[in-house]
Chain A
Amino acid sequence: MAEENYINLTIDGTQVKTKEGMTILEAAKSVGIDIPTLCFLKDINEVGDCRMCIVEVEGRKGFATSCIQKVEEGMIIHTHSPAVLEARRVILDLILSNHHKDCLTCSRSGNCELQNLAIKFNVQNIEYTGKQSEHTIDDLSPSIVRDFNKCILCRRCIATCKNVQKIGAIDCMNRGFDSCISTVNNQSLRDVNCTNCGQCIEACPTGALREKDNTDEVWKALKDEKKYVIVQTAPAVRVALGEEFRYANRYKCNRKNGNGS
């Protein structure tokens, strides 16, 4: 590659040479600097909503959104300055202030991006408490449960549904503090064009979307002596089981061009 396609910049005092077109986030990662993100999902959701990934760029008034903003020649970037750390801590605090914090019983406990960030930022108390959004849990769909009391409005589910799966069953409704992810006319997921593919659950960083759990019903059927129980699974389940036993995944999902399974 020609020399002019490289860009020189300084990240946290280190001189870095990166390819043109890289985001600040990628450039930082290339030199081992970890910038926290929440709404970012590479190639799928690059909107800069959550503001966790903000960094300071010298000479600029506001913070820069590192997950989207491209590197520029001569940029001097501070990813962990006191101001950045304070802002990130405040943002995390705000997100947590409007989140049902029932982590102990949450399906995503231990595997939750928000929980991980709270641990990383050593959140011991929430400074800015106040009104919390109240949403009814939608569990009418045969396979997906939506609990928007845990939604952080990152919109990864919308992007996945619209841009990857090409369905567009969900989008953002209302505005400001009352914003929420919803379906047309605020119907249950059961009553709209949702295909139950479950990719939104995969994209959700918290426990706002989860699979419907039928374990109890299966146990009941298995224990029913009058029933002859057979198992039918979708290909995806077989792949998942295989993956658990470390088989190579021949059906690797290509997120950019549809699910490809």
Chain B
Amino acid sequence: MKTLQEIAEIRKNKREELDLRVNLKASTKEKHILVCHGTGCTSSKSPDIIENFKKSIRDNNVDNVKVIQTGCFGLCAKGPIVIIRPEDVFYSLVKPEDCEEIVKTHLIEGKLVERLLCKEINDSTVKRLDELNFYKKQKRIALKNCGVIDPENIDEYIAFDGYKAIEKCLFELTPDEIINTIKESGLRGRGGAGFPTGKKWEFTKMAKGDQKYIVCNADEGDPGAFMDRSILEGDPHCVVEAMMIAGYSVGANKGYIYVRAEYPIAVQRFQTAINQAKGYGILGKNIFGTDFSFDLEIRLGAGAFVCGEETALLESIEGRRGQPRLKPPFPANSGLWRKPTLINNVETYANITRIILNGAKWYASIGTENSKGTKVFALGGNVVNTGLVEVPMGTTLREIVYDIGGGIPNGRKFKAAQTGGPSGGCIPLEHLDTPIDYESLAQIGSMMGSGGLIVMDDSKCMVNIAKFYLEFTVDESCGKCTPCRIGTKRMQEILQKICDGKGEKDDLEKLEKLANNIKRASLCGLGQTAPNPVLSTLKYFREEYTAHIRDKFCPAGECKALANVRIDSTKCKGCGICKKNCPVGAISRRNKTAT
């Protein structure tokens, strides 16, 4: 148990010690080697890198160097990432065997290991972290501590104003004042739908009930999305603290976080965070000597996409089959065990402490008129810098893809970007300058979604992409309501038929009619948004569908059934190389020309 005073002391002392993490001009002899310990870098052996660094430092008797595991730095394409502070040197694609060299050259001789320094495409000059284009246009609020602190060390979190927001709430603010601050900040739900967070808190506070619950939705299921995972892995305490603030505001003393079991590192770090907070007396009964008590538990999801839908998630926490409930009543009135429940997404919570400490005005000054703050995106697909980016709302797609993402690799052209995963739509080149906010994305037939952003180059067939997303929803439909259960299956079958070259004239009409009806008639958000990838590709890439059906031709050349190899007889020299290399012997030779 720690008193407020003791925590304030930890904050002061630890902050001085960790100054070199954020202050490049810190005058200290100490150096910190930060190694990314997120899921991506871990799978590329970052635990071995940490071990090797420690061993090498010991073997070479290097003083004043600490090796720290951190959360995600964002530039996952260049992982495993090692950053040395205070000088802010960024080593990328580090292998366990490189550690010895870094220790000897960098730490002992004081020179840079040139070959491991991060270089940008089209610009071979070596750059420091803050000079990289990847970071220039980003603004880190939700990811503020990711890559800065050791997520498994509560003191490091406390050093960077950790648990200061809950202290401020408990001693300086009333629940209504907190809710008003959140409302004024303009924060909207980061899970995808964008409901104003403050209003949600207010509804839950106003709801009558002897027991209320706080739930955190960490069931991130979109293919290619890993924002929530990275926050839980890099800064779990900020979610713990935000859930406590939510509990104090709406009058709840119990919280659950629903995390997918496929995120073992996130689960373990969050559990560590809970244990440490309990150990310090931050979580538990009569927090900081006040009347407020709060307890937090983890619930594991078994990997169903539909459990990210809030009511299905609640069913799953209660131990039942993860199927959505009909709304209304909304969880604010009748949620977990039919009690008033506040349910927010991880990234939404990650913004809370920053808003409380910096004020609503500060937060509302970032972003666009109706979408405030920043949004974290998991940038993936055909883009150079795949990784985790956080940008102010209103940043255009072009800035994300080209300035931050570094453009399309292999000299190919941009074709489309998919936001919102299987619930979102494909955005074509003509809308590349659309500012990213809730309204603008909805207007062009896509949605913000939870933050998956997949870039596609011109080698991708859009019919095939639509089919891919439909296959996902067919797989993940819970099977409760008819339109989603059978309708998405029928849509997928029609798309398969088109890709197989068996499309018929009226297929597109049938597809559109079915899609529109599924959208309006389905029970929950999964079914209501499942047709979006098909409708948006039909809107922007209709000619590709027509080519598949009418001309039996796949313009991108991805649909195998429609691949038709022709030989231009005016150019063929009859060299026979194609015949020699064909793995299945499909080419025969006659009179100096291939047939």
A and B interact physically: yes
Q: Please list the residues of chain A having a beta carbon within 8 angstroms of any beta carbon in chain B.
A: 47-51, 54, 61-63, 65, 68-69, 83, 86-87, 90-91, 94-95, 97-98, 127-128, 130-131, 152-153, 171-172, 174-179
Tell me the complex Cα distance, A86–B528, Å.
Answer: 17
A51 touches B474 (CB 8 A): no
Complex contact A54–B521 (CB within 8 A) = yes
Q: Please tell me if the beta carbons of A94 and B483 are within 8 angstroms of each other in the complex.
A: yes
Q: Are B520 and A87 in contact (CB under 8 A)?
A: yes
- A172 nearest CB across to chain B (Å): 6
- Cβ-based interface call for B490 (8 A): yes
What residue in chain B is nearest A95 (Cβ atoms)? B482
Report the count of interface residues on B (CB-CB < 8 A).
Answer: 32
A-B pairs, 8 with minimum CB distance:
A179-B479, A176-B477, A94-B486, A130-B493, A128-B490, A90-B517, A177-B489, A87-B521
Q: Is the CB of A51 within 8 A of B483?
A: yes
Q: Is the interface of A mostly helix, strand, loop or mixed?
A: loop
Q: Could you tell me the distance in whole angstroms from the C-beta of B321 to the nearest C-beta in chain A?
A: 6
Contact across chains for A51 and B479 when beta carbons are under 8 A apart: no
- A51: B residues at CB distance < 8 A: 481-483, 521-523
Contact between chains at A172 and B479 (CB < 8 Å)? yes
Beta-carbon contact of A177 and B477 below 8 Å: yes
- With both chains docked as a complex, state the minimum distance between the C-beta of B515 and any C-beta of chain A, in angstroms: 10
B195 to chain A, nearest CB (A): 14
Interface membership of B304, Cβ < 8 A: yes
Pick the most buried of B476, B486, B493: most chain A CB atoms within 10 A of its CB: B486
Measured in the bound complex, the distance between the Cα atoms of B477 and A90 in whole Å is 18
Chain B positions within 8 Å of A130 at CB level: 489-490, 493
List 16 A–B pairs whose Cβ atoms lie within 8 Å, in order of A's numbering: A49-B480, A50-B481, A62-B528, A69-B326, A86-B513, A90-B483, A91-B517, A95-B486, A128-B487, A130-B493, A131-B493, A172-B321, A174-B479, A177-B477, A179-B478, A179-B480
On whether A127 and B510 interact (CB within 8 A), knowing A49-B481, A49-B482, the answer reads yes
B381 CB, min distance to chain A CBs, angstroms: 26
Q: Is B552 an interface residue (CB 8 A)?
A: no
Known contacts A97-B490, A130-B490, A176-B474; decide if A48 and B479 are in contact (CB<8 Å): no
Residue B514 CB within 8 A of the other chain: yes
In this assembly, does B485 line the interface, its C-beta being within 8 Å of a C-beta of chain A?
A: yes
Given contacts A50-B481, A65-B326, contact A177 B486 (CB under 8 A): yes
Query: In the complex, which of the residues A61, A69, A98, A127 contacts B486, with contact meaning CB atoms closer than 8 Å?
Result: A98
- With A65-B523, A131-B493 given, is the CB distance from A91 to B482 under 8 Å? yes
The CA-CA distance from A179 to B474 in the complex, in Å, is 11
Q: Which of B304, B476, B477, B485 gathers most chain A CB within 10 Å?
A: B485
10 extra A-B contacts, CB within 8 A, seeds A131-B493, A172-B479, A176-B485:
A49-B481, A51-B483, A63-B520, A63-B521, A69-B328, A90-B521, A131-B489, A177-B486, A177-B489, A178-B479
- Establish whether residues B479 and A175, one from each chain, have CB atoms under 8 Å apart when the complex forms: yes
Chain A residues, CB < 8 A from B480: 47, 49, 179
